[in-house]
Structure 1
Amino acid sequence: MRINLTSVFVDDQRAALAFYTDVLGFVKHHDIPIGDAAWLTVVSPDAPDGPQLLLEPAGHPAVKPYRDALREDGIPLAQFAVDDVATEHARLAAKGVEFTMPPTDIGTAVVAVFDDTCGNLIQIVAEK
């Protein structure tokens, strides 16, 4: 068993695609129209055949209270691994990404949390 696909709920798929590709550096993998939305996935350029991230429309009624509760408690919806949190923080901050938690050493890892502009908090992590 392996993880092949996971998702984040996004307010606007096209805006999310721009943020996740142009700012974060992921690469578009699938963009298949499905009614008013799309099966829209991105992958890491370091693993183009690896796990896909589905930029899933946030239209389901359960999504808003779920994401609001996570955001209110400062809990990230997703976590992405990076080699160096301080370097990635500096790169993203230079692109205007707003961080809700700066690089923080938590003992076994260094983490930081940012707003993905699509309704979610996202954590980056580098394990020690």
Structure 2
Amino acid sequence: MKVTIMSIPVQDQEKAFRFYTEKLGFIKKLDTPLEGGNRWLTLVSPEWQDGPELLLEPAPNHFEPMKVFQDALMEAGIPWTQFDVNDVQEEYDRLIALGVEFSMKPTEMGTWKVAVFNDTCGNNIQLVETL
């Protein structure tokens, strides 16, 4: 058994697509039109193109409990998911220069360094570096 797709709820698929590709550097894997103007839109890391796909899921727009959950996580400052990076400070500096807003600057926590940013689509995302 292995993870092939990880879903992240987004309030606007096109806005999320631009953010995750233009700012975070993910690349498009699949983009298939679905009913109601939605898309099966997946991205992958350029460093691991055969790895797990990130599905930009429009669930908050169609399933109220998902929107309530997403809003509660944002309000509490809890990340939806995390992305591993080689150097959190370097990634933080790069993303700050691109206008990404962070709620937590790079912070050491035991054997990790973490930072948390807003993906502009309803989620906090945590960057993690193993020290």
TM-score bin, normalised by smaller chain: over 0.9
> 1:123 — aligned with what?
126
More helix, by proportion: 2
Task: Please list the CA deviations of residues 28-87 of structure 1 after superposition, one character each: whole Å capped at 9, or x if unmatched.
Answer: 000000112000000000011110000000221111210111112110001000000000
Is 1:34 matched up with 2:29?
no
The correspondence of residues 85-104 of structure 1 with structure 2, limited to 5 A, is 85-104=88-107
For 2:74 and 2:12, how far apart are their aligned partners in 1? Answer: 18
Measure how far apart 1:90 and its partner are: 0.1
Distance 2:122 2:75 in 1: 12
Structure 1 residue ranges without an equivalent (≥5): none
**1:11-30 correspondence runs (5 A):** 11-30=11-30
Aligned partner of 1:10 in structure 2 is 10
Give the equivalent residue in structure 2 for 1:70.
Answer: 73
Kindly state the Cα deviation for residue 119 of structure 1 after the two structures are TM-superposed.
0.6
1:107 equivalent among 79, 97, 110: 110
- Distance in 2 (alpha carbons) for counterparts of 1:30 and 1:117: 22
1:122 Cα deviation from its structure 2 partner: 0.3
CA distance in 1, matches of 2:84, 2:30: 22
TM-score by length of 2: 0.95
- Percent of matched pairs sharing the same residue: 52
Separation in 1, partners of 2:107, 2:29: 32
Which has the higher mean CA deviation after the structures are superposed, 108-117 or 68-77?
A: 68-77
The one-letter code sitting in structure 2 at the alignment partner of 1:64 is K
Q: For the residues of structure 2 that align with 1:81 and 1:72, how far apart are their CA atoms?
A: 23
**Runs of 4+ residues over 3 Å off in structure 1:** none
Name structure 2 gaps, 5 residues minimum. Answer: none
Separation (CA, whole Å) in 2 of partners of 1:70 and 1:12: 18
The one-letter code sitting in structure 2 at the alignment partner of 1:34 is L
